[in-house]
Amino acid sequence: MLDDEELLALAEDIKANGQYIPIMLDPNGRLLDGRNRLAACKVAGVEPEFATYNGPNPGAYALRINIRRRNLTKGQSAMVAAKACSVSEPSGRIEFELSARSIAEQIGVSLGRIGQAMTVARHAPDLMDQVISGAVGLDEAYKTAREAKAQADSAENQLARLRAEDPELADKVVEGEIGLAAAWVERKERADEEVRRRQVATQFLCEVVPPLAQARGTDTVALYDPQFMLTGRAITGEVIEQAMAALSEMAQAWREREAA
């Protein structure tokens, strides 16, 4: 955005001479280009003039026209493109649907520079604005991003993650009982098994407990007839006592769960 003095000057010019260039919107009414003109019209009290872009890719248009009107280096342009591509639709900005090669062609920057900028966006996002402002060069930021990526992928980092998730497996790796890669495979298997056990337990409880609650206050017990019982599931006094003990334990566990 223009600073206050520049915005006021633009507003005075529009008020005196009119708005030469329309504010560009996409077919859905989202702003593609001209936010300074829109703000200046509001300051000047002038009804803004709009136009609609009906090309194949509104995001590409916004990127291309805004980069070309600014005096940016190739590195800055590449980083602007990378930052734009990292912005998602829920934020109210246009989402780009372009490959790195397409972006390079749109803004006249080499594919290699786009790739470097994308690496910075993924692994050193705090440097993006510094590159765009010119405070840090893209090459320097790319070097930092590569170091960050290497560190993130390092065995030490993986071991630290493993220790946080499964200390027992991490100890085995340190003691040489198992390799790091194999430990992560086992960790995934354990996690999958835990999910399976939770699923089975949940389905079992949902099948057993609600019917018991519904039987309360009915003549279900009086209607029990051994000739219709399921094989291996006879109801006896002992079974009922065990069921009561199980329900008592469940109730206690549930109270502790809710209190946690």
Q: Where are the domains of the chain?
A: 4-137, 154-222, 224-260
- pLDDT tens for residues 27-67? 889 898 899 999 999 999 999 999 999 887 777 777 777 77
Give dist(CA 41, CA 49) in Å, integer.
9
Q: How far apart are CA 166 and CA 174, in angstroms?
A: 13
Query: Among residues 213, 159, 209, which one has the least CA distance to residue 187?
Result: 159
Higher pLDDT, 144 or 96: 144
Question: Angle, nearest 10°, between helix axes 58-68 and 74-85?
Answer: 150
pLDDT in tens, 71-85: 788 899 899 888 877
pLDDT tens profile 151-210: 877 888 889 989 999 999 999 999 999 999 899 999 999 999 999 999 999 999 999 899
pTM of the model: 0.46
Asked if the model's pLDDT at residue 94 lies above 50, the reply is no
Decide if 48 contacts 38 (C-beta within 8 A): yes
In this prediction, residues 233-248 reach a mean pLDDT of 90
Flag whether pLDDT at 245 surpasses 90.
yes
